């Protein structure tokens, strides 16, 4: 694809010719022109596909040049580059059908994006010309997608599945993939699902993905289409090449050329057209791991098929750590803990998208369960007004591009902020915080002085206010909370009574059993038996 640069300033011409590796972008850089008149004289002999021109030049300006180019080379793409940030110039340029309008202060990345957009436009035009019209090209891709994904027989007009199969075979061979029935050494084929990210703005995502598709078509024989912010491609694996190495090289070239992140999921290699659907299903399974692997690299079925699924529920220790962090109101510590937790899950070789999502959601549920208990305490103690019941726990987002540690931190931070806002609004907010502290340390040795110190109060004054606000003395409240904790453990686990006693803060099992029977009306063992009848 030929590109011509036109500018009457030598420093601009030279800079544009040297700062960008045009060959790496698939461009043949023609000798630059220093005026519109010179460019017009060479237009028909050199036939540039893309023209990058200044607006204000001695003699004919860039806008008039764009009009002349349109008349002589209707398919050429024109990009206006100027030092004048003047909307009137932009309007005039757009009326002449230019592809883009950039300032000379634009960085190389912006120029590359604009040129790749023009290149994509040209390739689309050429493809449409081959097919005759837009409708024919769109229908063919629609039929192919439907056939490949199993959404139909791919014909859409009453044709049989056999005719659709024949059409796909013909299209693959036209795209340079030699099938087993054709002359010469046949290609292997693989389905690729590719996403691109890293240009920093949603409005560039379509251009970036289009540029990635264009580059892929240059590097590997095959057919592709854009659907749901990803590329679906069937590519030929050149005979004699190790299939994975060839794909890795192509993915790396796309990444380096476009300066973006590429995630590619590959189905296994097949030899027959009728096996392509299986390769697609394999690629689809691998693509589901994008949230686990991140947005970089090529992954195959062998990278995921042996994974059994990591932990799907957070541990009691992790929930206890979270409760302490939420109560301490330290966002930095919460962020560090969240990042370490997510990193540990991602590094687990057994983790699957399903187990990861379930695990992270259990963290969010644990945080909201802790907040709901705090709200119930505040409401019962009349420490705060206007409290509502438990709200639905928000679901953690697994959308492509989401940074999991940031997403989880955001949800946990909202819980922490809500808790401390409620505490700050209460008439005796330190009682609110003291109760949360007690509940987080039930398995430890707890004293009145220790809790009073946590809320920075004199122990006697704290004891008086605590009893007045909760209706219970400190020791009575702690015992009741410990028994409720023990009862919950007995109902939800098969832990030994000695283990339950330890988690409830009792070393003496006999004394624990006495306290439990005094409050619950039966021994721990009887309580568990009664609950299962």
Residue 382: phi and psi, rounded to 5, are: 55, 40
How many Å apart are CA 113 and CA 518, to the nearest integer?
A: 75
Question: Given this model, what pLDDT does residue 383 score?
Answer: 41
Please say if the pLDDT value at position 28 is more than 60. Answer: yes
Parallel/antiparallel/unpaired status of strands 188-197 and 222-227? unpaired
Residue that wins the pLDDT comparison between 114 and 129? 114
Question: Given this model, what pLDDT does residue 202 score?
Answer: 65
Residue that wins the pLDDT comparison between 131 and 358? 358
Instruction: Sheet containing 230-237: give its strands across.
Output: 222-227, 230-237, 188-197, 261-266, 297-300
Provide the phi-psi class of 30: left if phi over 0, else alpha when psi is between -120 and 50, else beta: beta
Question: Given this model, what pLDDT does residue 88 score?
Answer: 65
Identify which of 304, 301, 264 has the alpha carbon closest to the alpha carbon of residue 282.
301
DSSP string of 219-283? HS-EEEEEETTEEEEEEEEPTTS-HHHHHHHHHHHHHHHHTSEEEEEEPPPBSSGGGHHHHHHHH
Please say if the pLDDT value at position 490 is more than 50. Answer: yes
Residue that wins the pLDDT comparison between 135 and 407? 407
Q: What residues contact 251, with CB distance under 8 A and at least 6 apart?
A: 194, 262, 264, 297, 298
Give the residue-averaged pLDDT of 339-347: 92
Give the residue-averaged pLDDT of 202-228: 84
Residue that has been written with the tokens 């009682």 in this structure: 431
Give the residue-averaged pLDDT of 241-269: 86
Question: Given this model, what pLDDT does residue 83 score?
Answer: 74
Q: What is the pLDDT of residues 67-89, one digit of tens each?
A: 899 889 988 999 988 776 665 66
> Can you tell me whether residue 188 is helix, strand or coil?
strand
How many Å apart are CA 434 and CA 192, to the nearest integer?
A: 56
Please say if the pLDDT value at position 98 is more than 90. Answer: no
Fold of 2-111: Rossmann fold (3.40.50)
Please say if the pLDDT value at position 134 is more than 60. Answer: no
Give the residue-averaged pLDDT of 101-130: 86
Q: What is the pLDDT of residues 497-515, one digit of tens each?
A: 999 999 899 989 999 999 9
Sign, CA dihedral 286-292-294-298, equals negative
Please say if the pLDDT value at position 59 is more than 50. Answer: yes
Q: What residues contact 5, with CB distance under 8 A and at least 6 apart?
A: 13, 16, 17, 29, 30, 32, 33, 52, 53
Question: Given this model, what pLDDT does residue 157 score?
Answer: 41
Question: Given this model, what pLDDT does residue 369 score?
Answer: 86
CATH superfamily of the domain spanning 441-533? Homeodomain-like (1.10.10.60)
What's the mean pLDDT when you consider all of the chain?
A: 83
**What are the C-alpha distances in Å from 447 to residues 360, 433, 444, 459?**
34, 15, 10, 10
Please say if the pLDDT value at position 237 is more than 60. Answer: yes
Please say if the pLDDT value at position 381 is more than 60. Answer: no
Give the residue-averaged pLDDT of 519-533: 81
Confidence label for 37 from pLDDT (cuts 50, 70 and 90): very high
Q: How many distinct helices (H) and strands (E) make up the chain?
A: 22, 10
Confidence label for 362 from pLDDT (cuts 50, 70 and 90): very high
By residue count, the chain amounts to 533
How many Å apart are CA 299 and CA 237, to the nearest integer?
A: 16
How many Å apart are CA 457 and CA 440, to the nearest integer?
A: 19
For 271, half-sphere exposure in the C-beta direction (CA atoms, 13 angstrom radius) is: 6
Please say if the pLDDT value at position 159 is more than 50. Answer: no
Of 21-30, 146-155, 170-179, 223-232, the poorest mean pLDDT is in 146-155
Query: Could you tell me if 309 and 288 are in contact, meaning their C-beta atoms sit under 8 angstroms apart?
Result: no
Question: Given this model, what pLDDT does residue 397 score?
Answer: 84
What does the DSSP 8-state code read for residue 426? S
Please say if the pLDDT value at position 184 is more than 60. Answer: no
Sign, CA dihedral 491-495-497-502, equals negative
DSSP string of 308-361? -----S--HHHHHHHHHHHHHT-HHHHHHHHHHHHHHHHH-TT--HHHHHHHHH
Residue that wins the pLDDT comparison between 246 and 23? 23
Task: Name the residue ranges covered by the structural domains of the chain.
Answer: 2-111, 133-303, 307-427, 441-533
How many Å apart are CA 66 and CA 96, to the nearest integer?
A: 6
Please say if the pLDDT value at position 456 is more than 90. Answer: no
Question: Given this model, what pLDDT does residue 431 score?
Answer: 77
How many Å apart are CA 230 and CA 286, to the nearest integer?
A: 14
Question: Given this model, what pLDDT does residue 519 score?
Answer: 85
Of 5-9, 165-169, 351-355, the poorest mean pLDDT is in 165-169
Please say if the pLDDT value at position 152 is more than 60. Answer: no
How many Å apart are CA 533 and CA 428, to the nearest integer?
A: 43
Fold of 133-303: Alpha-Beta Plaits (3.30.70)
Percentage of the chain beyond pLDDT 90 is 30
How many Å apart are CA 194 and CA 395, to the nearest integer?
A: 26
Identify which of 147, 173, 174, 148 has the alpha carbon closest to the alpha carbon of residue 161.
147
**What are the C-alpha distances in Å from 25 to residues 1, 113, 215, 253, 348?**
10, 11, 8, 10, 38
Give the residue-averaged pLDDT of 458-462: 88
């Amino acid at each position: 694809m030929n590109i011509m640069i036109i500018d009457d300033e030598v420093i601009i011409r030279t800079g544009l010719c040297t700062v960008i590796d045009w060959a790496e972008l698939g461009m043949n850089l023609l000798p630059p022109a220093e005026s519109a008149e010179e460019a017009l004289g060479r237009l028909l002999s050199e036939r540039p596909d893309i023209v990058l021109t200044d607006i204000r030049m001695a003699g004919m300006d860039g806008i008039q040049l764009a009009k002349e180019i349109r008349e002589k080379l209707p398919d050429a793409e024109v990009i206006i580059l100027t030092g004048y940030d003047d909307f009137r110039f932009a309007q005039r340029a757009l009326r002449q059908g230019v592809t883009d309008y950039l300032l000379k202060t634009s960085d190389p990345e912006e120029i590359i994006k604009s040129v790749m957009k023009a290149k994509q436009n040209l390739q689309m035009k050429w493809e449409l010309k081959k097919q005759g019209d837009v409708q024919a090209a769109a229908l063919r891709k629609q039929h192919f997608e439907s056939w490949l994904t199993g959404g139909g027989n791919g014909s859409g007009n009453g044709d049989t599945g056999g005719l659709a199969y024949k059409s796909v075979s013909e299209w693959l061979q036209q795209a340079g993939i030699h099938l087993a029935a054709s002359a010469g050494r046949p290609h292997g084929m693989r389905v690729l699902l590719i996403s691109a990210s890293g240009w920093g703005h949603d409005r560039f995502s379509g251009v970036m993905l289009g540029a990635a598709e264009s580059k892929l078509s240059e590097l590997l024989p095959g057919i592709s289409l854009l659907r749901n912010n990803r590329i679906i491609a069937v590519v030929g694996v050149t005979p004699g090449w190790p299939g994975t190495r060839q794909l890795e090289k192509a993915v790396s070239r796309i990444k380096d050329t476009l300066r973006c992140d590429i995630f590619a999921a590959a189905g296994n290699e097949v030899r027959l057209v009728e096996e392509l659907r299986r390769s697609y299903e394999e690629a689809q399974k691998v693509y589901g791991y994008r949230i686990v692997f991140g947005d970089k690299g090529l992954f195959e079925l062998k990278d995921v098929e042996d994974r059994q699924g990591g932990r799907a529920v957070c541990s009691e220790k992790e929930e206890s750590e979270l409760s302490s962090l939420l109560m301490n109101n330290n966002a930095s510590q919460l962020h560090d803990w969240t990042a370490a937790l997510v990193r540990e899950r991602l590094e687990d070789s057994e983790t699957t998208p399903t187990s990861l999502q379930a695990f992270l959601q259990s963290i969010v549920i644990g945080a909201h369960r802790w907040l709901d208990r705090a709200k119930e305490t505040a409401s019962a103690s009349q420490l705060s007004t206007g409290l509502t019941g438990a709200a639905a726990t928000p679901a953690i987002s697994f959308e492509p591009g989401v940074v999991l540690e940031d997403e989880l931190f955001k949800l946990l931070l909202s819980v922490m902020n809500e808790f401390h806002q409620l505490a700050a609004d209460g008439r005796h907010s330190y009682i609110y915080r003291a109760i949360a502290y007690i509940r987080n340390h039930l398995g430890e040795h707890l004293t009145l002085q220790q809790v009073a110190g946590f809320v920075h109060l004199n122990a006697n004054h704290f004891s008086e206010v605590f009893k007045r606000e909760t209706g219970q003395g400190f020791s009575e409240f702690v015992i009741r909370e410990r028994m409720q904790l023990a009862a919950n453990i007995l109902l939800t686990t098969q832990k030994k009574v000695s283990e339950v006693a330890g988690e409830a803060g009792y070393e003496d099992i006999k004394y624990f059993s006495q306290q439990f029977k005094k409050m619950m009306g039966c021994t721990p063992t009887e309580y568990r038996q009664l609950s299962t009848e």
